[in-house]
Amino acid sequence: MFFQAAALLAALLGALMSPALASQAVFNRPKPLNASFAPLGALNVLSETQFTTLQHPAFPNYGVRVKKSDVCDGTVASYTGYIDIEARHIFFYFFESRSDPDTDDVIFWTNGGPGCSSSTGLFMELGPCRVYNASNGPVYHPESWNSNANIFFVDQPIHVGFSYADYGEYVSTTEDAAQDIAAFVAIFFAHFTKFQGRAFHMAGESYGGRYVPAYAAAVYDQNAFLVQSGLQPINLTSIMVGNGMTDVPTMMTAWYDMQCSSASVAPVQTIETCVAMKTRLPSCRKWLKESCQDIFDDINCSSAMSFCMDSLLGPYTAMGLNTYDVTNRCDGAGVGRCYAIQDEIVTYLNKPEVQALLGVDPAKRQFEACSPLVSTAFGVLQHDLMHGSTEYIVGLLERGVRALIYAGSYDFICNNLGNEVMTLELEWSGQAEFVKQPLRDWLVDGKRAGHTRSASALTFATIDAAGHLAPYDKPKESLEMAQRWIAGRGL
């Protein structure tokens, strides 16, 4: 989930990170090795009571601890574990497909933030169970994306969810975090050989619009190294980005239309405020383009974003509306949470018996939905938010990796208007054909589920009446979209 607007605004206005935090860790890819390697082979050999450690000589700084964990879906095998990068540890869940785990595709899922746990995706959106009430525990979710796919949910980067570091280490850029994810995928597939060659899809939402394209690019580029090391390359097939903050300038300027036009719902802002916002909009667009896109200038880009946030986001948040759904207000009690179910998830995951089942390390017992440390590291230290991921999408498209960009029509913060403009402005070989395509309806059970535009490897889609967390608001339509996509069918 995109971290709360007020915290981001404060960060961009000059909040300082605590000097007690350790310096950024840097990953240097090792050279190919000829050391022997014996894959573990099958997931069913894993223990329920203790972790099995997976290693590979090509990635000497990495290990993967994994165990069986009957998390919430008794109909399939599920696993939890850690990606260990020396003193850093990233927590993950893995669920086999409810259909045919031996042949179905594999999906990697991450939520956004920066700094928010993928437990939101697992226990609230597209996972195999939901936690509506912490006391009652998980409830089977029939419209999970593991209906016909094997799926990871990863608490990344370091310090997100149950992830932690021994001495306070952290990463502060998407590009650094990408190396950890790429290495993890390689080690996992190397050990569990039945997944080798399987179609692999990398998906996420919100700040995942920044993460996913860069992570997918790292996985794709790493394939040459895997081949040199005698490993099977990863069959990266597509990316799926939901309500993504992929390109900040196009998204921020779309905030005006979301408040002051009928592009989504009837205007929610007063006429007086919209007139004042309109006078600032040209300056916002010009400043963002010149300082954040044409030539990246850290200081000027930061100033431009602060100006635009104050001008276009400030009036909306002052109304008390939910930044993730223009038709509602926040009802969550926690910082950065706008849904009561998120509070239930936090309570549930802080139960000792649940953490024991998952194998949570005693070093990280306190579960947080979103990490202020990660938000600060990405937002203040490196201004990672200001660097878009559109060029990664272009690079993937040019190499035949398909891209689905979808958005719920009610989301404000990462809205469908900004995402549509982003897709239209992507400079790739299929741009002219994509731009020529009209928006058309896509249907579920004969009823309109949203609009879509598609050409070659790129598809844009909206989901009617869904907010920022589209699979939560529209689980049936979201699952149908995902199933058609991974099957290679059009919407």
Convert the pLDDT of each residue in 210-263 to its tens digit.
999 999 999 999 999 999 988 999 999 999 999 999 998 899 999 999 999 998
For residue 116, list its beta bridge partners.
370
Assess whether pLDDT exceeds 60 at residue 188: yes
Q: Is 313 exposed, middle or buried (0-12, 13-18, 19+ CB in 10 A)?
A: buried
Arithmetic mean of pLDDT, 334-349: 82
For residue 244, list its beta bridge partners.
206
Return the ∠ at Cα 164 (arms to 162 and 167), rounded to 5°: 160
End-to-end Cα, the chain, rounded Å:
25
Question: Model confidence over 95-132: pLDDT tens digits?
Answer: 999 999 999 999 999 999 898 999 999 999 999 999 99
Confidence band of 36 (pLDDT split at 50, 70, 90): low
Q: Which of 114, 110, 155 is nearest to 8 (CA)?
A: 114
Q: How many CA atoms lie within 13 A of 147 on its CB side?
A: 18
Arithmetic mean of pLDDT, 329-343: 72
Looking at residue 336, what is its pLDDT?
A: 53
Arithmetic mean of pLDDT, 341-354: 94
Q: How far apart (Å, rounded) are the C-alpha atoms in residues 442 and 16?
A: 46
Assess whether pLDDT exceeds 90 at residue 360: yes
- Distance (Å) of CA 361 to CA 77, 82, 137, 165, 437: 21, 9, 21, 11, 51
| Share above pLDDT 90 across residues of the chain, in percent, rounded to a whole number | 68
**Is the CB of residue 170 less than 8 Å from the CB of residue 210?**
no
Looking at residue 298, what is its pLDDT?
A: 83
Confidence band of 26 (pLDDT split at 50, 70, 90): very low
**Is the CB of residue 171 less than 8 Å from the CB of residue 76?**
no
For residue 460, list its beta bridge partners.
405, 453
For residue 203, list its beta bridge partners.
109, 240
Confidence band of 30 (pLDDT split at 50, 70, 90): very low
**Is the CB of residue 141 less than 8 Å from the CB of residue 152?**
no
Q: Which of 368, 414, 356 is nearest to 388 (CA)?
A: 414
The residue type found at 424 is L
Assess whether pLDDT exceeds 80 at residue 2: no
Assess whether pLDDT exceeds 80 at residue 164: yes
Assess whether pLDDT exceeds 90 at residue 387: no
Structure tokens at 225: 């190294």
Preceding amide of 30 cis, omega within 30: no
Looking at residue 294, what is its pLDDT?
A: 84
167/363: higher pLDDT:
167
Instruction: Determine whether 261 is an active site residue.
Output: no
Long-range contacts of 355-359 (CB under 8 A, 24+ apart): 355/162, 357/69, 357/70, 357/71, 358/69, 358/71, 358/80, 358/162, 359/51, 359/67, 359/69, 359/80, 359/81
Handedness of CA 326, 330, 332, 333 (dihedral sign): positive
Of the residues 411, 451, 464, 473, only one is catalytic, namely 411
Of the residues 206, 264, 302, 478, only one is catalytic, namely 206
- Distance (Å) of CA 320 to CA 1, 146, 330, 407, 440: 18, 36, 8, 22, 34
Confidence band of 388 (pLDDT split at 50, 70, 90): confident
Instruction: Determine whether 294 is an active site residue.
Output: no
Tell me the pLDDT of the chain averaged across its residues.
88
Looking at residue 92, what is its pLDDT?
A: 95
Looking at residue 293, what is its pLDDT?
A: 81
Q: What is the pTM of this model?
A: 0.91
**Is the CB of residue 137 less than 8 Å from the CB of residue 181?**
no
Helices 248-260/416-425 angle, 10° precision: 140
Structure tokens at 274: 């919209």
The residue type found at 116 is C
Looking at residue 332, what is its pLDDT?
A: 54
Assess whether pLDDT exceeds 50 at residue 16: no
**Is the CB of residue 202 less than 8 Å from the CB of residue 218?**
no
Q: Which of 334, 338, 323 is nearest to 367 (CA)?
A: 334
Looking at residue 365, what is its pLDDT?
A: 74
Assess whether pLDDT exceeds 60 at residue 172: yes
Confidence band of 296 (pLDDT split at 50, 70, 90): confident
Q: How far apart (Å, rounded) are the C-alpha atoms in residues 126 and 142?
A: 10
Confidence band of 6 (pLDDT split at 50, 70, 90): very low
Instruction: Determine whether 159 is an active site residue.
Output: no
Helices 208-228/390-398 angle, 10° precision: 40
Of the residues 105, 468, 473, 478, only one is catalytic, namely 468
